[in-house]
Structure formats: C-alpha cells, structure tokens
Amino acid sequence: MEEKTISKAEKRWIVREIQSGRMTIGQARERFELQSKNPVSLLKNWIRQYSSDIVLTLPVMTEKEKQKLDAAHKRLRQLEKQLEDAQMKNIALETMIDIAEEQLKIVIRKKSGPKP
C-alpha cells in the first residue's frame, strides 16, 4: 500500500483537532490511515512539533451571546418554515391556475412583455 503524504497544513489541522477534543489520536490514526510503525508516537511527535505554532482561540461565549444565538437559530427555523409554506402555496396556486385554464379553456396568466 502506498503511503499517503500529509502536508504541514494538514498536520497542524490534525493537531488542532486533537488538542480541541474534536478528534482523538485513535480517530486521527484511522481517518488518515497512518502507516507508521507507531502511529500514536508519530501523532504525539506532531503535537510537540506543531502545538507551539500560534494558536488562535476565541473567548468562551457568554450566556447572553448563547441566548442571542439560540434566538437567531429559532428565527431562522421560523423563516425556513414560512418559506416552505409560501413555496407550497405557490405550487398549489400554479396548479389551480393550470387546471382552471385547461378545464375552462381560458387564459388566466397574462403574457409578459411589452404591450403593442
């Protein structure tokens, strides 16, 4: 099996994921199919090597910020539901017009374009 080359950027990303707790060393070993004789040692070496790089951290979200974020998510869900309802209503109205035009043999929709 050919060994996959992992760039410095990928190594830094892996280290950040492990350090942040979003990925374990075991998960990193499996995900990137590390072919080293001792992948755990290899990953620990990367952590020593790349954890000294500048680490960007964000401050912990305050309770007020969490509430605002939750309110924004709730509003987004409401708007998505309203959009879905409006799209369904539009489809129903278009279908109703199609049926009326077909059965009554009249043109309900106006043709777009300049008037003569």
Residue-averaged pLDDT of the chain: 84
pTM: 0.44
Domain-located, residue 3: no
* Token duo for residue 39: 């992948």
CB contact at 8 A, 16 and 45:
no
pLDDT confidence of 2, banded at 50, 70, 90?
very low
CB contact at 8 A, 50 and 15:
yes
The domain in which residue 116 lies consists of 61-116
> From CA 81, how far away is CA 62, in angstroms rounded?
29
Total structural domains within the chain = 2
* pLDDT value of position 116: 60
- For 97-111, how does the pLDDT look when each residue is reduced to its tens digit (9 = 90+)? 999 999 998 888 877
Domain-located, residue 1: no
Domain-located, residue 55: no
CB contact at 8 A, 25 and 40:
yes
* pLDDT value of position 77: 96
- For 48-75, how does the pLDDT look when each residue is reduced to its tens digit (9 = 90+)? 888 765 566 778 889 999 999 999 999 9
Tell me the Cα Rg of the chain. Answer: 29
Regarding whether 115 and 73 lie in a shared domain, the answer is yes
Domain-located, residue 92: yes
